[in-house]
């Protein structure tokens, strides 16, 4: 682990909280340049974290972007599996998860051992793993997918392997959405779920819709069926952002983590965005990262992400299999850049 020297700043006790924040942002920018680093932030992160990042977007888009830059250091503001994915795609780079305590409860709902057992109970069936999985789980899967391309990847896996039965891990709600789109394939889903998306409540959507009858309802596929049944549009975080920006509608009920509504409110001030069940539609893990964590990572004070090579090689194969789904609408997902 390399340790950089902090930039010289005025004594913190002489500054107001707002001045301290501005100073921290300046220090982050200077240190980032010094270390040839890139800061990536998921759209569910705090807005001040997204604002200091070079790019914001969804997990795979950010990882692909990290692999294509010439930065030597990647600071990932997100949860653990995202930083692991960045490391898998950029093995020669130094990767930090800005807050090492930020995990994903859904990813933790399946372990490598549980997947091995699931496969033994369903011998010979191809496995599609959502990107929200640990590297050693990906290493046991055949294909990886995101919420943007899950339908295409499952269809591709069924065609490539000649199997009309597919094991899908870990999100049963994303699996149910894929199943609704591909009735010709039987998905056998793991019982995982995202606690944040499941806290969203159809009654709150109905209340908002009564107040704003012209509002478009945009729903993430990690939500459960009653939420999806109300949707005008179902899509990944990136697809929801794109739809909201391109739509002629002026008001939107955005049924995913609250960070997306906040991002959209900032990017499209002429439109109105509401998150149903706002107080609970917050992923506590995504909100763990603060500016101080980014600074600490840039100083080299966090542990680097490391993945044993035998696991990394197999997990990379799983991710590469997704890349073969060429031309699908869920191909590489793009992240926005901050100037
Ligand atoms: S929003 Fe859900 S899937 Fe995303 S990191 Fe949080 S718990 Fe995991």
- Determine whether 67 is exposed, middle or buried from the number of CB atoms within 10 Å of its CB (0-12, 13-18, 19+): middle
pLDDT at 172 over 70: yes
Alpha carbons within 13 A on the beta-carbon side of 202 = 9
Ligand 1: centre distance to CA 194 (Å): 6
Ligand 1: centre distance to CA 195 (Å): 7
Give the mean pLDDT of the chain. Answer: 92
As given in the structure block, the two tokens for residue 62 are: 């950010």
C-alpha distances in Å from residue 112, one per residue of 1, 48, 147, 152: 28, 35, 21, 25
Q: Are 336 and 330 in contact (CB under 8 A)?
A: no
The CATH number given to 196-282 is 3.40.50.10800
From 3.40.50.10890, 3.30.930.10, 3.40.50.10800, 3.40.50.2300, which CATH number describes the 107-193 domain?
3.40.50.10800
Ligand 1: centre distance to CA 322 (Å): 21
The CATH number given to 1-102+285-298 is 3.40.50.10800
Q: Are 215 and 202 in contact (CB under 8 A)?
A: no
Q: Are 187 and 171 in contact (CB under 8 A)?
A: no
Ligand 1: centre distance to CA 257 (Å): 8
Ligand 1: centre distance to CA 105 (Å): 7
Strand 165-169 relative to strand 143-145: parallel, antiparallel, unpaired? unpaired
C-alpha distances in Å from residue 161, one per residue of 135, 143, 146, 154, 324: 23, 11, 20, 11, 14
Alpha carbons within 13 A on the beta-carbon side of 167 = 24
Mean pLDDT calculated for residue range 60-64: 81
The pTM score is 0.90
Q: What is the dihedral angle through the alpha carbons of 231, 235, 236, 239, rounded to the nearest 10 degrees?
A: -120
For a ligand 1 pocket test, name from 43, 99, 106 the mutation site with the most ligand atoms within 8 angstroms of its C-beta: 106
Ligand 1: centre distance to CA 11 (Å): 38
Residue located nearest, by CA, to atom 8 of ligand 1: 104
Residue located nearest, by CA, to atom 3 of ligand 1: 194
Mean pLDDT calculated for residue range 270-289: 92
Q: What is the pLDDT of residues 115-138, one digit of tens each?
A: 999 999 999 999 999 999 999 999
pLDDT given for residue 339 in this prediction: 40
Domains 1-102+285-298 and 196-282 share a fold: yes
Strand runs labelled E in the chain: 37-42, 55-57, 73-77, 94-97, 127-130, 143-145, 165-169, 186-189, 216-219, 233-234, 251-255, 272-274, 336-337
Mean pLDDT calculated for residue range 268-293: 93
Q: What is the pLDDT of residues 13-31, one digit of tens each?
A: 778 888 999 999 999 999 9
For a ligand 1 pocket test, name from 43, 84, 104, 256 the mutation site with the most ligand atoms within 8 angstroms of its C-beta: 104
Residue located nearest, by CA, to atom 5 of ligand 1: 104
Say which residue, 327 or 227, is predicted with more confidence.
227
CB atoms within 10 A of CB 258: 23
Q: Please identify, by atom number, the ligand 1 atom nearest to the C-alpha of residue 132.
A: 3
Which residue ranges have their beta carbon within 6 Å of ligand 1? 44, 79, 104-106, 132, 194-196, 257, 283, 285-286
Residue located nearest, by CA, to atom 6 of ligand 1: 283
The CA distance from 330 to 325, in Å, is 9
Q: Please identify, by atom number, the ligand 1 atom nearest to the C-alpha of residue 79.
A: 5
C-alpha distances in Å from residue 141, one per residue of 162, 173, 316: 17, 19, 10
Ligand 1: centre distance to CA 40 (Å): 17
What is 173-220 written as a DSSP string? HHHHHHHHH-TTSEEEE-SB--HHHHT--HHHHHHHHHH-TT-EEEE-
In the chain, what are the domain boundaries? 1-102+285-298, 107-193, 196-282
Mean pLDDT calculated for residue range 253-275: 95
pLDDT given for residue 289 in this prediction: 98
The CA distance from 68 to 72, in Å, is 11
pLDDT-based confidence at residue 277 (cuts at 50, 70, 90): confident
pLDDT at 110 over 60: yes
pLDDT given for residue 331 in this prediction: 38
Mean pLDDT calculated for residue range 31-53: 95
């Amino acid at each position: 682990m390399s340790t950089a020297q902090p930039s010289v700043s005025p004594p913190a006790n002489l500054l107001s909280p707002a001045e301290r924040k501005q100073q921290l942002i300046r220090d982050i920018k200077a240190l980032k340049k010094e270390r040839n680093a890139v800061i990536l932030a998921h759209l569910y992160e705090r807005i001040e974290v997204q604002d200091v990042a070079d790019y914001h977007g969804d997990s795979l888009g950010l990882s692909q972007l990290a692999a294509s830059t010439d930065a030597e250091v990647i600071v990932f503001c997100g949860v653990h599996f995202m930083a692991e994915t960045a490391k898998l795609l950029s093995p020669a780079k130094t990767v930090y998860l800005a807050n090492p305590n930020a995990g994903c409860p859904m990813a933790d709902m399946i372990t490598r051992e549980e997947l091995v057992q699931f496969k033994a109970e369903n011998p010979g069936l191809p496995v599609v793993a959502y990107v929200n999985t640990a590297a050693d789980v990906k290493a046991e899967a055949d294909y990886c997918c995101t919420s943007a391309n899950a339908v295409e990847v499952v269809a591709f896996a069924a065609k490539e392997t000649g199997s009309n039965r597919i094991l899908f891990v870990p999100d049963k709600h994303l699996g149910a959405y894929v199943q609704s789109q591909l009735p010709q394939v039987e998905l056998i889903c793991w019982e995982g779920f995202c606690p944040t998306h499941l806290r969203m409540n159809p009654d709150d959507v109905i209340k908002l819709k009564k107040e704003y009858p012209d509002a478009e309802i945009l729903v993430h596929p990690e939500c459960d069926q009653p939420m999806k049944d109300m949707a005008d549009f179902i899509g990944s975080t990136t697809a929801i952002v794109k739809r909201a920006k391109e739509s002629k509608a002026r008001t939107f009920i955005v049924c995913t983590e609250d960070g997306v509504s906040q991002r959209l409110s900032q990017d499209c001030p002429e439109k109105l965005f509401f998150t149903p069940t706002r107080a609970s539609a917050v992923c506590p893990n995504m909100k763990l990262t603060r500016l101080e964590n980014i600074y600490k990572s840039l100083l080299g004070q966090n542990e680097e992400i490391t993945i044993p090579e035998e696991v990394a090689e197999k997990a990379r194969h799983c991710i590469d299999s997704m890349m073969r789904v060429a031309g699908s609408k869920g191909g590489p997902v793009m992240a926005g850049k901050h100037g």
